[in-house]
Amino acid sequence: MIALLGILLVIWLVCVVLGVVIKGLFWLVIVGAVLFAATAVIGFVKRKTVGSR
């Protein structure tokens, strides 16, 4: 589960970088940043839940 979240974080980060590098893809920066933040929050919550067992 943690590996999947890590892979997703890398994918979203690549989307953000591509959006910045390629002009006119500002929407990709926004989508990538939102998905990165959401995945990071989900990973943080899951980590705390799994660690408390």
User: What's the whole-model pTM score?
Assistant: 0.74
pLDDT at 46: 82
- Integer angstrom CA distances of residue 52 from 6, 41, 47, 49: 21, 17, 9, 5
- Residue 11 pLDDT > 70, yes or no? yes
Answer whether 9's CB lies under 8 Å from 32's CB. Answer: no
Q: If you count DSSP H runs as helices and E runs as strands, how many of each does the chain have, helices first?
A: 2, 0
Q: Nearest-CA neighbor of 17 among 29, 9, 31, 6?
A: 29
Q: Quick one: what percent of the chain has pLDDT higher than 70?
A: 92
Q: Which amino acid is at 21?
A: V
**What is the rounded CA–CA span in Å between residue 28 and residue 31?**
5
